[in-house]
Chains A and B, each alone.
Chain A
């Protein structure tokens, strides 16, 4: 649910990074935080456990610039990936404008990826949002690992519509901003089409 504030001349959109546990959602947000200038970002808030696993969400507000006299502000959220935090994941999807699915490329995590996408579809549906319509980008993360499955094979298993796909190594920043740019574009184009 986009929030257009004429009083402040700004547009606010919510983007959620989704995916299985330890796939690199927080790493994506952390890299964006590290590489964004101080004036264009807010605080990075991580509600995490003592072992640094996401407990509720990470939150990073960023401002990308002005379009047609409106400041564009994006609120980036991650969900907790671990299976048993499903109630929290559902809450975070409320009012979402765009989704990035971060897939873990390792062979051993393929089932977890598939299950997480199924879970995403179900949770979006509960908010009255269809997977077919929501602005959506697929990121194949951890491409540097020796156990990474070939990209076309993962795409075949996980791609659900004609969404943009990016290969990434989030820990080094590879593909992180490309993914962000693609989802921002999808969100703004979706807004334009309404």
Chain B
């Protein structure tokens, strides 16, 4: 495949989670998510009970992808921020270094201005971690530590067992 796989280690997750938690507190938000542009959840902070994080990630990624398509039609590189306002909860979606999506869910205890400000402050940090991960994935590609590492020894029987 032409695109490098994404490998997230415990330490990466902790770094993301700590930034997301700080953002959630600073922005007075309910939940903060970091999602890969393909719709995979990387990290989350806040109470996710009652939410469906997997669907939220897939739909946010679809939303960003469709908006990217619109941007290109207008000759724009991207629309980096999306905002959806609801009666109680609102969604602030921000593209981070063209690779990930930062989603903030907030209610009337916060405001769009505050969320925007706090998001802006932490995107640089998130982008730096993402860059580390991408560079590492590229350099490990095809090596024993690469994406295939846990699966180097899988057999047909392992796969058959998944369907039994």
Residue of A nearest to B141 (CB): A194
Contact with A along B121-164 (1 / 0, CB 8 A): 00000000000000000000110001110111110101101110
A11 touches B150 (CB 8 A): yes
The distance in angstroms between the C-alpha atoms of A130 and B36, with both chains bound, is: 23
A1, A12, A56, A61: the one within 8 Å of B66 (CB): A56
Residue of A nearest to B39 (CB): A75
Q: Is A162 an interface residue (CB 8 A)?
A: no
- Top-3 shortest CB links A-B: A95-B38, A7-B13, A128-B2
Query: Which of chain B's residues have a CB closer than 8 A to the CB of A67?
Result: 150-151, 154, 158-159, 162
Q: Is A47 an interface residue (CB 8 A)?
A: yes
B52 touches A42 (CB 8 A): yes
A-B CB pair tally, cutoff 8 Å: 141
B39, B69, B147: the one within 8 Å of A4 (CB): B147
The distance in angstroms between the C-alpha atoms of A87 and B163, with both chains bound, is: 34
B10, B39, B40, B69: the one within 8 Å of A6 (CB): B10
The distance in angstroms between the C-alpha atoms of A1 and B147, with both chains bound, is: 10
Q: Is B48 an interface residue (CB 8 A)?
A: no
The distance in angstroms between the C-alpha atoms of A146 and B149, with both chains bound, is: 48
A14, A43, A130, A193: the one within 8 Å of B52 (CB): A43
A4 touches B62 (CB 8 A): no
Residue of A nearest to B5 (CB): A2
The distance in angstroms between the C-alpha atoms of A192 and B151, with both chains bound, is: 5
Q: Is A57 an interface residue (CB 8 A)?
A: yes
Query: Which of chain B's residues have a CB closer than 8 A to the CB of A127?
Result: 2-3
Q: Is B112 an interface residue (CB 8 A)?
A: no
- Within residues 69 to 109 of chain A, which ones have a CB less than 8 A from any CB in chain B? 69-70, 72, 75, 87-88, 91-92, 94-95, 97
The interface residues of chain A, by DSSP majority, are classed as mixed
Q: How far in angstroms is the closest Cβ of chain B from A173?
A: 14
Query: Which of chain B's residues have a CB closer than 8 A to the CB of A94?
Result: 37-38, 65
Given contacts A67-B151, A69-B150, 15 further A-B contacts (CB under 8 A): A1-B1, A2-B6, A3-B40, A7-B8, A42-B55, A45-B59, A47-B62, A56-B62, A56-B66, A67-B158, A91-B62, A91-B66, A95-B37, A189-B159, A194-B142
Given A91-B65, A194-B141, verify A14-B153 contact (CB < 8 Å): no
Q: Is A65 an interface residue (CB 8 A)?
A: yes
B148 touches A72 (CB 8 A): no
B62 touches A3 (CB 8 A): no
Residue of A nearest to B70 (CB): A87
26 contacts between A and B (CB under 8 A): A1-B4, A1-B5, A3-B7, A4-B6, A4-B7, A5-B8, A6-B7, A7-B9, A42-B55, A43-B54, A45-B58, A68-B151, A68-B158, A69-B150, A87-B69, A94-B38, A94-B65, A95-B38, A97-B1, A129-B1, A184-B159, A184-B162, A189-B159, A192-B154, A194-B1, A194-B142
